[in-house]
Structure 1
Amino acid sequence: MKNKFKENVTDGVKDISSYWKIILIVFVVVIVAFRSVYFISEQKNGVVTQFGKVVRVDTAGMHFKAPWQSLQTVDITTHGTGIGYYIDDDSQDFASDEDGIMITSDFNLLNIDFYMEYKVSDPVAYLYNSEAPEEILENIALANIRTVVSNYTVDEAMTTAKGLIEQEVKEDMVKSLQDTNIGLSVQNITIQDSEPPTEDIIAAFKAVETAKQGADTAKNNALQYQNEQIPKAEAKADKIVQNATASKEARIAEATGEASKFNKMYEQYSMYPEITKKRMFFEKVEEILPNTRVIITDGQSKIILNDGTTAKNSAISDEVEGE
């Protein structure tokens, strides 16, 4: 009886021991599965390392790794930061800091603020090539901004050259980031504001800017007036040319007619010079004295002619008969 009881107890202990072994195995499997299976979101990349060495970089989706491998995720979305200003935690307003004060090529001080957008371009370099990549990025941005702004006058940096400054700063930062290889890339950098550091200078520069805007307005008005007057002047000149051309053609036609008339008269004169002379004389008298009664006599004729026409015709007839 006692032996049988001992056997039952022994069998029970063995069953309990097997049960806990199964639970332990299941627990180990769950832990391994939990550590081996992971998900990466669209906004991140996963860097898998094994004994301090990078194995691979995973993008969005479900992935597997060995339990002894480590995983670090990196946010790859675009981030923004201010350079030369910060957001006051108490008032939530923008406040300038000393980093925004630059010196220009004409040795003036200018408070200029930039907004920079950047993102992680290389997760491995971002994690392991530097301890503080964002801080290095801001220092690179400040260095390049100061260099570029120093090539422009204070007036240019505040007005016409903002686009050029932004473009040059971005190009220089791209080169600097390639050299340092901290795993970050600049997406965009823009000037938020630029003004002199004191109130008096701010007022003076605003007055200058207003004057320049007035000059631009006057220039535009002058160009508009020029564009309006030039077509009018060209149209007037064309009209004058056309009138002159028409006058020239009329004068040429008139001269041609007069020349033709003269040639015909000369032909008649060549044939009958005396008769032609008298005719020309009588025609000129009629032209000069159209409404005057004229009596013409040769001093020998007994017949007195009453008008120039009769006298002319008579004289012409006498001349023809005489010949």
Structure 2
Amino acid sequence: MISLKRIYILTGLAFLIIILLITAITTWYTVDESDQAVIHTFGKVEETVIEPGLHFKLPWPIQTVEKLSKETFSLQFGFSESNGEVQDYPRETKMITGDENIVLADMVVQWKITNPPKYLYNADNPKEILYDTTSAALRSIIGSSAIDDALTSGKAVIEGDVRDLLSKLIDNYDIGISILAVKLQDVELPNSEVRKAFTEVTDARETANTKVNEARKYENKRMNEANGEAAAILSKANGEKIARTEGAHGDVAVFDKLYNEYKKNPEVTKDRLIIETLERVLPNAEMYIMNDDGNTLKYFPIRPLEKEKETGNETEKVTPKEEGETKDGK
């Protein structure tokens, strides 16, 4: 028969073995690359461990470990996707725009846990708070935007405004979450008839914009052509101006030289100018010079011969004769 002392000894050994096993099992833990750990000492948060690998702590129940993911989470607002099937929740996504139109807006929010202790203990359900805050931020921005912006080119601005407002609200709630990005998925009208009417209006607006762009393109083309023609006319006019100015300067210089010669020999210069003028006016005429005594001398044109000599042309040389010989045979 087993004695009472032996029972006590066996029971104590059993408890000691259990304590040693618990100590051996609960004094170490591992943290994966995608995880972060929060250490509790008698329920109080002591530290946050984000370095991956093997770590040690005091045995349970003195210290406990709770692990949270460091990865990025996606919040699907207004719809849920499971096994490739998408389920919409139109009652949650129906909202009024700033110009009093109804739209359905879905959104995806990218977020991550940046402060594990606050995420665990500052709120009972941080994910629910994030969902409600996303709804409030999206409705606020859509409610101050026009329907055209929500459906067409203003989505990027709306996404930026929603992200800023959502980040500000989450920071005020202080639940250890950071907003990384927001993305509008589908923004559409509530029924097919409204969508069709809006599509027709949008198509008409796009057609009008196309026509306006074509008109502006034609206007720019014609303006460029007109500017080019104007520049060409101005350039030609400047060229003619310069040519005429230089020609006038040349004429003035010739006149000054003639005037100087005239002052030296007025009669000779006058006769020469008269003869040269007649030669230009009557290039094919033969001119004769009459002496005061009635004798006639034929005027011999020297300049045409000089020009022929300068250009090197093969011309027939004419020996001048004094056809205007006097009657006395002189």
Whether contact under 8 Å (2:22, 2:59) holds in the other structure is no
Partners in 2 of 1:65 and 1:222 — Cα distance? Answer: 79
Q: Secondary structure at the match of 1:160?
A: coil
* Cα distance between partner residues in 1 of 2:129 and 2:115: 15
Distance 1:116 1:281, change over 3 A: same
Query: Which structure is higher in helix share?
Result: 1
Output aligned runs, 1:84-233, within 5 Å. 84-87=78-81, 92-214=85-207
User: Which residue of structure 2 aligns with residue 317 of structure 1?
Assistant: none
Aligned letter for 2:21?
V
The structure-2 alpha-carbon separation of the partners of 1:236 and 1:14, relative to structure 1 and needing over 3 Å to count, comes to same
Worse-superposed segment, 15-24 or 93-102: 15-24
The answer to whether the 8 Å contact 1:86/1:97 transfers is no
C-alpha contact 1:38 1:62 (8 A) present in aligned 2? yes
Provide the rounded CA distance (Å) in 1 between the counterparts of 2:96 and 2:111.
26
Matched AA of 1:147 = S
Mapping of residues 1-323 of structure 1, within 5 Å? 22-59=13-50, 60=52, 61-69=54-62, 70-87=64-81, 92-214=85-207, 239-294=232-287, 301-305=293-297
Query: TM-score with structure 1 length normalisation?
Result: 0.76
SS in 2 for 1:117: strand
Q: Which residue of 1 aligns with 2:312?
A: none
State the Cα distance separating 1:153 from its structure 2 match: 0.8
Contact 1:177 1:185 (C-alpha < 8 Å) held by counterparts: yes
Structure 2 distance, partners of 1:230, 1:64, is: 81
Per the alignment, in what secondary structure is the counterpart of residue 252 of structure 2?
helix
Change (3 A) 1:223 1:186: same
Alpha-carbon distance in structure 2 between the residues aligned to 1:309 and 1:184: 111
The structure-2 alpha-carbon separation of the partners of 1:190 and 1:296, relative to structure 1 and needing over 3 Å to count, comes to same
Distance 1:214 1:63, change over 3 A: farther
Percent of aligned pairs with the same residue? 27
User: Quick one: distance in 2 between partners of 1:57 and 1:209?
Assistant: 54
Aligned partner letter, 2:173: T
Shift of 1:75: 2.8
CA distance in 2, matches of 1:121, 1:112: 28
Q: Which whole-Å deviations, capped at 9, do the CAs of 1:34-57 have from their partners, x for residues lacking one?
A: 244333333333334344433333
1:11-48 Cα shifts (integer Å, max 9, x gaps): x9988986675455323311332244333333333334
Whole-Å Cα distance in 2 between the matches of residues 186 and 176 of structure 1?
10
Q: Which amino acid aligns with 2:248?
A: A
For the aligned residues, what is the CA RMSD? 3.7
How far the C-alpha of 1:95 sits from its partner, in A, is 2.5
Residue 141 of structure 1 and its aligned partner are, at CA, apart by: 0.9
Q: How far is 1:309 from its partner?
A: 6.7
8 Å contact kept, 2:98–2:144: yes
Cα 1:193/1:13, change in 2 over 3 Å: closer
Letter in 2 for 1:68: P
What residue ranges of structure 1 are gaps of 5+ in the alignment? 1-8, 315-323
The two structures have a TM-score, normalised by structure 2, of 0.74
SS in 1 for 2:85: coil
Kept after mapping to 2: 8 A contact 1:47/1:73? yes
Count of aligned positions: 300
One-letter amino acid matched to 2:115:
D
